[in-house]
Amino acid sequence: MQLDKVDKQIISALFTKGRESLTNLKDIIFKSDDETMSHTGIAKRISKLEDNTILKVQGNININKINYKTLFILMEWSNYDEIRNIINSYSECPRVFLLAQVTGQYNLIMGVIGQNLDVLHRYVNHCGPTNKKGLLHSALIFGSDFILPKFLPLNLFSGKSNEQNCGNICSDCEAYLDGKCDGCGNF
């Protein structure tokens, strides 16, 4: 889908204030230099952008304010099938906020969120992809406070576990059984 001037104005306005009312948006979104859009027209445009998965209006979290920590795992896999398997396995993990194929020394990067560094270490040792077959080598980068983006699209508090996707079943995990981890769906 090609974005036009109106689409770009809507996205920009919602980026600034995602809860902006349609009534207020109709006063700042222009079809031409002097013609504003109706709130009904704006609502239809927003729906179209959402239907085409270009825009998603949601509540995002400032992880700095809740003292959560981040970990970036840079990985080199031996072939594309293994990369695809890791992407499929971890794309619904509630702790993963970033999965991207990259070029250079590594071919996949994963961003992981945790309540503290101990949780992130347990993730690497028990749940993360660094224990999977086909990994040639990896690097771990523990992050400090996020500067940009300030808010992340995370669903930390759903209580929903997706352990069936990654194959790391919490009830079989040593850290879970020892009471050192509450499971992947419990933040």
73 three-state secondary structure: strand
Contact 73, 128 (CB under 8 A): yes
Give the strands of the sheet with 135-143, arranged side by side. Answer: 96-101, 108-114, 69-77, 135-143
Q: Where are the domains of the chain?
A: 5-51, 69-177
Residues 155, 135, 143, CA angle at the centre, nearest 5°?
Answer: 45
Q: How far apart, in Å, are the Cα atoms of 132 and each of 2, 15, 94, 113, 128?
A: 40, 38, 19, 20, 8
Bridge partners (DSSP) of residue 112 are: 71, 96
Q: CA–CA separation, 13 vs 34, rounded Å? A: 18
141 vs 151: CA distance, rounded Å = 20
Q: How far apart are CA 70 and CA 112, in angstroms?
A: 6
Please give the chain's pLDDT, 187 residues, in tens. Answer: 899 999 999 999 998 888 999 999 999 999 888 888 898 999 999 999 999 999 999 889 999 999 999 999 999 999 999 999 999 999 988 889 999 999 999 999 999 998 889 889 988 988 889 988 899 999 999 998 889 998 998 887 777 767 667 777 777 777 777 776 766 766 6
CATH class label, 69-177: alpha beta
Q: Which of 126, 64, 75 is nearest to 99 (CA)?
A: 75
> pTM of the prediction?
0.83
